[in-house]
Structure 1
Amino acid sequence: MTVHDPVLAAAHRPAEKHARKPIADDAAMLRAAAELTRTLSTANPAIYWPDFLASALLGYAALAGAILLDNGALAAVSGVVAMLALYRAASFIHELTHMREGALPGFYAAWNLLVGIPLMIPSFMYEEVHTQHHARTRYGTANDPEYLPLALMKPWSLPLFIVVAALAPVGLILRFGVLTPLSLLIPPLRRAVRERYSALSINPAYRRRAPEGDFARRWAWQEAGACVFALALVGSVFLLGWKPLLVYMAVHSGMTVLNQLRTLVAHLWENEGEAMTVTAQYLDSVNVPPPSPFAAIWAPVGLRYHALHHLLPSVPYHALGQAHRRLIATLDTDSPYHRGNYRGMLPLVGKIARSTMAR
């Protein structure tokens, strides 16, 4: 989620730089990745639509249960189910940013209306932001909105990284329910909101450019919808009491913390600002393939193959597992591809934490 915290920004400045030997591109790995996956680039609507709709339906049904059930234990279980299901539904925002126009007619609008606006994370917050993270000359640099050298920062930066995410629902209500209407009346505030509070980024230095053309129109209706929802959510207290709002915020907070934990282990975060080769970007990223039993839960919709996704950003989530198996079976054991695969979340958190404590 968006992180604009001055304390975290201070931790962003590593005390010293260490010379690193540049990693050259591995031609065999890149060639195999391209050749073995040429037939896997088509998004399958028979997978996308049922997966997305079932996740959203289950999430909202469980959220209703968490609000309405009198039994505390059942309400808590229902809240956890709501959090996990809505987290999966929300994760489709990542697919939207890579999907070719017209690949899945209606999916863009459906996702925003059913998930993006009700969770106050409309897709404009990620569009034209995430693709910069994949730019060859931006990844891992100060111009990458989704990169911080977390492994090279102070140890206290990691818990702060998670705590900030827990406050996301409060921040989003303020962003859309307060700043959106105020910024329409105060032009200087509007510029600040657009530049600093309109991106799902983690780089405190990132500033967003003004939208143009069709994207500006999409931004406008999505922001208006999220504004109306945020105001209605707060206004619901006067009709329904505090419980629905607090349960919604608890579920949303849990979902965002889980996503932040996934973000924490999506990369090794060891780059100090230099441009990197594609192979270096891959090795700074993480796959958690089977048999890891829980990765499909905390890294859903193909996010468990994040390193592979950096090699093949156009391959849809449902084909990444097959692409991974083809590469594992084809590439020699000394290929860099094998070094991008890890066992699970906890070993990765430990690895990054140890790196921060060694600074």
Structure 2
Amino acid sequence: MTIQSPNHAATFAPQLRVAEDTAMIRAAAQVTRDLAAARPAIYWADFLGSALLGYTGLALAMTASGWLAVLAGVVAVLALYRAGLFTHEIAHLRPGAVPGFRTAWNFIIGVPLLVPSFMYENVHSIHHTRIRYGTAEDPEYLPLALMKPWTVPMFAIVAVLAPIALLLRFGILAPLSLVIPPLRRMLVARYSSLSINPEFRRRAPEGAFARHWAIWETAASLWAMTLLALVVTGVVPLREFAIALAVVSAVTVLNQVRTLVAHLWENDGEQLTVTGQYLDSVNVPPPGLLPALWAPVGLRYHALHHLLPGVPYHALGEAHRRIQAAVPADSPYHVASYPGLTGLVVRLVRGGRRP
């Protein structure tokens, strides 16, 4: 989903204009060399357990009533959110690292929730490109801290409509685009990526990735059309459909809130060093417990992830502990750690009010 980019002041955070701290980068790489391998058993157990819990909670929320339905809905949101965030791991996993995982994720989460992995693959990698991070070419960056004060709540609120937008994209626009070439070009360029930069335009897929895209877009479109038909004909009651939409909407909003605090969003289009990117990103390490819920699957270590994007999610906690012990007290590595969500949101909103 995207939001329009309002006018903002031409300011730039000085702390991001830093030279490369090669000592920090070297130390981080050296002490984490043995953590780079993904462990398939962890991926499968975590993902399948989260998906099972999420769908069980969703079924109970749709059929129960009262506090039981509410509690089941909360469980469904948190568990499906966790299962969904494995798309981030898929975007980083080396081919063959966890055999069959991408296919299973698409069958279990990507198609049912209408967010197949092609919408994130080959998009998220641009965000990690050193010369594109934080620039106008970055699909996952907006200088939110430099924008108008209303931008931050607007950024979260638009996520409420994401499930409806996805139903429209896959259930109606995708089939129509097969016979309307201009619509197809627009759909590929503007509505086929999980991005926040409204200026980002995606290129048409090629080769093996084009086949992968076609398979999962077709599957998602068939599912969306079937679901809409079942609701229109009354086979799926409107109440249950509305509950499912509310759960998926809550998942999207939660992810959007997490995105709000994944970075400081203080770069105004300049190319940054890796150290500058790290300082514009956020770790929320222990002892806080809540980040395990709102930033699961390793995303509580988002700054570290930008420093070492090849380290799998299950190893980031250990990597953080090792790097903390290896670098001196005045290392910029310590600067990117924050205590929790509230302070980060307040900082972002206050930043948005800067002249």
Q: In which range does the TM-score fall when normalised by the shorter chain?
A: over 0.9
1:159-198 map, 5 Å? 159-198=153-192
Alignment partners' CA distance in 1, 2:122 and 2:13: 32
Q: CA deviation at 1:235?
A: 1.9
Q: Secondary structure at the match of 2:235?
A: helix
Letter in 2 for 1:193: L
Answering whether residue 209 of structure 2 is matched by residue 215 of structure 1, we say yes
Who is 2:142 aligned against? 148
Letter in 1 for 2:260: L
Q: Is the 8 A contact 1:155 1:356 kept in 2?
A: yes
Segments of 5+ residues of structure 1 without an aligned counterpart are none
1:1-359 map, 5 Å? 2-3=1-2, 5=3, 8-9=4-5, 11=6, 13-18=7-12, 20=14, 22-69=17-64, 71-237=65-231, 238-359=234-355
Deviations 1:63-118 (A, max 9, x none): 0001111x221111101100100000000000000000011111010000000000
Alignment partners' CA distance in 1, 2:11 and 2:53: 48
Alignment partners' CA distance in 1, 2:240 and 2:187: 28
Alignment partners' CA distance in 1, 2:12 and 2:326: 35
Segments of 5+ residues of structure 2 without an aligned counterpart are none
Q: Is the 8 A contact 1:236 1:245 kept in 2?
A: no
CA RMSD of superposed structures (Å)? 1.0
Q: CA deviation at 1:229?
A: 1.3
Alignment partners' CA distance in 2, 1:19 and 1:47: 39
Alignment partners' CA distance in 2, 1:312 and 1:327: 11
Letter in 2 for 1:191: R
Structure 1: which 4+ aligned runs deviate by more than 3 Å?
17-21
Q: Is the 8 A contact 2:51 2:83 kept in 1?
A: yes
Alignment partners' CA distance in 1, 2:11 and 2:98: 45
Q: Is the 8 A contact 2:12 2:266 kept in 1?
A: no
Q: CA deviation at 1:145?
A: 0.2
Deviations 1:230-268 (A, max 9, x none): 112222222121022111110000000000000000000
How many matched pairs? 352
- Aligned in 2, Cα 1:50/1:18: closer, same or farther, shift over 3 Å? closer
Letter in 1 for 2:217: E
- Aligned in 2, Cα 1:19/1:167: closer, same or farther, shift over 3 Å? closer
Q: Is the 8 A contact 2:54 2:75 kept in 1?
A: yes
Q: Secondary structure at the match of 1:293?
A: coil
Alignment partners' CA distance in 2, 1:127 and 1:274: 24
Q: Is the 8 A contact 1:165 1:253 kept in 2?
A: yes
Alignment partners' CA distance in 1, 2:70 and 2:205: 41
Q: CA deviation at 1:357?
A: 1.5
Q: CA deviation at 1:19?
A: 7.9
Q: CA deviation at 1:59?
A: 0.4
Q: Percent identity?
A: 60
Q: Is the 8 A contact 2:11 2:146 kept in 1?
A: no
Q: Is the 8 A contact 2:140 2:196 kept in 1?
A: yes
Letter in 2 for 1:88: R
Q: Is the 8 A contact 1:233 1:245 kept in 2?
A: no
